[in-house]
């Protein structure tokens, strides 16, 4: 199985400041046949199911604010929130869907400083 | 509107069985992969099982293989998870989640249900 490791486990950021979450996979999730990274980011607010923010490492879902961006390739990925808003307080998960058995990172809790 | 609605959770004793259902609407059920993902209280997300789209292949996490069985009824647009030999560590909120791509197994999960709670305790 591909192991996904996120860092940090939690972070506190001031309103309007940048938040950065890292995700590392134990093996590459870049599919050579189409040059796509099979990596997604989800946001989960308390009491709610996860919401897909980004797929293919950097493609924002429809309706997701452009302050959210994803980057990286191969085994190292980043989710950035350029200007943190109060409604962005949540736990964020990365997920690989490259292997037959998808796996999630352990989650990163984002709070307001 | 695409919707997923889980049901069937509850309290069950260790060693017992439970069948979860995921009723879907708003999309062509048989052509998308649908998955079960669980979340233990206060913990992260764990993918449990999935049913492929058109091909109908099934997949299981090692932690449930041999105990859980996923199936679907295309006439009812419903996915099931039969859970046998339940253990305390199976206690979790169970979500169903739809794959984002037609006919492809390897896809992100774009729509999630609200979940159904399973508690395994004596």
The confidence score (pLDDT) of residue B54 equals 78
The DSSP letter of residue A13 is E
For residue A109, give the DSSP letter.
E
Residues of chain A with pLDDT under 50: none
| 3-state SS, one letter per residue, for B51-114 | ECCCCCCEEECCCCCCCEEEEEECCCCEEEEEECCCCHHHCEEEEEEEEEEECCCCCCEEEECC
Please judge whether A97 and B59 are an interchain contact, meaning their C-beta atoms are less than 8 angstroms apart.
no
pLDDT at A13: 97
Q: For residue range B39-56, list pLDDT tens digits in order.
A: 999 999 999 999 998 778
- A104/B106 Cβ within 8 A: no
- Which residue among B35, B95, B108 sits closest to A55, beta carbon to beta carbon? B108
- From the list B44, B59, B105, the residue facing A93 with the nearest CB is B44
pLDDT at site B34 = 97
Q: Residue A35 corresponds to which tokens in the numbers above?
A: 């040059």
Considering only CA atoms, which of A103, A102, A106 is closest in space to residue A92?
A106
Q: Note the pLDDT of residue B102.
A: 86
Chain B partners within 8 Å of A34 (Cβ): none
By a Cβ cutoff of 8 Å, what residues of chain A touch chain B? 1, 38, 40, 42, 44, 49-52, 55-56, 61, 91, 93, 95, 97-98, 100-107
pLDDT in tens, B6-43: 999 999 999 999 999 999 999 999 999 999 999 999 99
Q: Which residues pair with B78 in a beta bridge?
A: B23, B73
Cα gap B92→A26, rounded to integer Å: 26
């Amino acid at each position: 199985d591909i192991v996904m490791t996120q860092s940090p486990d939690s972070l506190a950021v001031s309103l309007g400041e940048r938040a950065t979450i890292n995700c590392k996979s134990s093996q590459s999730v870049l599919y050579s046949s189409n040059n796509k990274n099979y990596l997604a980011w989800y946001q989960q607010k308390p009491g709610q199911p996860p919401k897909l923010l980004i797929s293919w490492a950097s493609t924002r879902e429809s309706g997701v604010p452009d302050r959210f961006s994803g980057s990286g390739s191969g085994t190292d990925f980043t989710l950035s929130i350029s200007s943190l808003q109060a409604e962005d307080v949540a736990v964020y998960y990365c997920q690989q869907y490259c292997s037959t058995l998808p796996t999630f990172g352990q989650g990163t809790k984002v709070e307001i400083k | 509107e695409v919707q997923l609605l889980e049901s069937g959770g509850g309290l069950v004793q260790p060693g017992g069985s439970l069948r979860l259902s995921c009723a879907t609407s708003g999309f062509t059920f048989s052509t998308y992969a649908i998955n079960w993902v669980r979340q233990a209280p206060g913990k992260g997300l764990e993918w449990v099982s999935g049913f492929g789209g058109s091909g109908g292949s099934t997949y299981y996490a090692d932690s449930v293989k041999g105990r859980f069985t996923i199936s679907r009824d295309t006439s009812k647009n419903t996915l099931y998870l039969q859970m046998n030999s339940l253990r305390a560590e199976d206690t979790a909120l169970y979500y169903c989640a739809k794959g984002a791509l037609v006919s492809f197994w390897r896809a992100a999960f774009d729509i999630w249900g609200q979940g159904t709670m399973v508690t395994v305790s004596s």
